Amino acid sequence: MSENEPLGIIGVGWVGLVSAVCFAELGHPIKAVDIDAEKVALLREGSTPIHEPRLDELLERNRDRILFTTEISEALEAARLLFCCVDTPPTYSGDADLSRVREVVANLRGDGEHALVMKSTVPVGTGASIVRGLAGLPYVSCPEFLKEGSAIDDFMNPDRVVIGAATDDAWAADAVAAAYAPLGAALVRTDVASAEMVKLASNAFLATKISFINEIANVSEEVGADVAEVARGMGLDERIGAAFLRPGIGFGGSCFPKDISALKLLAGNSGYHFQLLNAVIEVNELQKRRVIGKLTKHLGSLAGKRVALLGLAFKPDTDDMREASSLVLAARLEGEGASVSGYDPVAAATAAELLPGVELADTVEAALEGADAAVLVTEWPEFAHLDWALLGAKMANPLLVDGRNFLDPDVLRAAGFAYEGIGRPAAALGDAEPIGTADRGT
């Protein structure tokens, strides 16, 4: 088998595009297929439709190795491994919508020559059902664990590569393992259903960790503990680990909310009530709304008040706003009668579509102009280096709710702000110094 085996990538969203450029970087000729002709045209010109660090660079360097096309037949002609990377958004019921996966399968024949490698996140049992519907189709489950914002690095340095296949399809599993071999990651070879479950269980566990630390943060606020110190102390226990213990105003994105809902329903449909996941979901919803309480503590009724949202993407280094906390927050604030302004360094175009009621500003300064409060929603690095005394002076009232515990409370307080974090000792009412009289302490 050639080291540079040609690979077909079906669907060039986040997972597909990152996989395409990374496998090309590893030397594989790639046929990358998408039904969206506009997206294909854009990629052919060398432009990327999403914001992801290093993606442009890798695409540029590997343009000769990647053919973008709308024709799946081109991938079928060139490659025996077809990586299915189409999206599986939640349906109205919260189940995963597999219609795009089915469209891909409809183009395949069970000729035994082409294997379908499932990268899309699908419910456990999907592989078995696809193979039942198309006998003779070699099938490999190879879930993707990359994070938006660090997707290229995650692809190139995976903690593990999980490959699930039936014994009869060992040749396809071997070929997938060979494609990932240069990355030197731990390999988990298993059956299809277990591989599918690894993905859902991993995301559910990480989401549980976040909701857990968010609840610890909420209790810490009541009892005078600092959750950052608590997380530091907990994280040093190797059985717990320090990652994903950052409290905030809830998790969002295209994966966690949809995957935990899909796992909850998968369990429910098979007769098991996944109690813990219900709590994880509920805590996350309430966490987004707790900001309102922090604002009313200082401002009273929010009717007629102006609130600025700093950061609108679901996390930094992405323009993705799927399930972003900013969406819930903006709607809640508008519901309370507040007017909302917002700023995001890269998600402005997406925000214009999704947040029609929010006045989008080109700068932090413009977003804060005349505001009664600011909420830091996304921890964009550029927010760490702002002149808060200057910004506070633009506001009608210098109040900041730091939804990601990203800023130094002492710096903010010295700049004249009333500062509220998540699970940090709370600001007493009226603790803001008048702007101009405080030592900024930077």
Binding site for ligand UDX (CB under 6 A): 144-148, 203, 206, 210, 244-246, 248, 251-253, 255-256, 314-315
Q: Which helix (H) or strand (E) holds 234?
A: helix 227-235
Angle, vertex CA 324, rays to CA 336 and CA 101, nearest 5: 135
| 3-state secondary structure at position 4 | coil
Contacts of residue 356, Cβ cutoff 8 Å, sequence gap at least 6: none
* Pick 206 or 401: Cβ nearer ligand UDX: 206
| 3-state secondary structure at position 213 | helix
Pairing of strands 399-402, 373-376: parallel
* Pick 144 or 372: Cβ nearer ligand UDX: 144
Minimum CB separation from ligand UDX for residue 231, in Å?
A: 9
* Pick 68 or 256: Cβ nearer ligand UDX: 256
Minimum CB separation from ligand UDX for residue 154, in Å?
A: 7
Q: Which residue out of 84, 85, 142, 255 is catalytically annotated?
A: 255
* Pick 62 or 203: Cβ nearer ligand UDX: 203
Contacts of residue 195, Cβ cutoff 8 Å, sequence gap at least 6: 141, 142, 143, 162, 163, 164, 188
Q: Among all residues, whose Cβ is closest to ligand UDX?
A: 255
- Nearest of 73, 66, 29 to residue 179 by alpha carbon: 29
User: What are the tokens at 251?
Assistant: 């998790």
Minimum CB separation from ligand UDX for residue 98, in Å?
A: 18
Q: Residue 30: CA atoms inside 13 Å, Cβ hemisphere, count?
A: 30
Minimum CB separation from ligand UDX for residue 330, in Å?
A: 16
Minimum CB separation from ligand UDX for residue 200, in Å?
A: 11
* Pick 75 or 207: Cβ nearer ligand UDX: 207
Tell me what percent of the chain is helix, strand and coil, each rounded to the nearest 5. Answer: 45, 15, 40
Minimum CB separation from ligand UDX for residue 21, in Å?
A: 17
CA distance 429 to 124: 51
Active site residue 84: no
How many beta carbons lie within 10 A of that of residue 346, not counting itself?
Answer: 18
User: What are the tokens at 56?
Assistant: 């442009």
Distance from first CA to last CA of the chain, Å, rounded? Answer: 60
Residues with catalytic annotation?
255
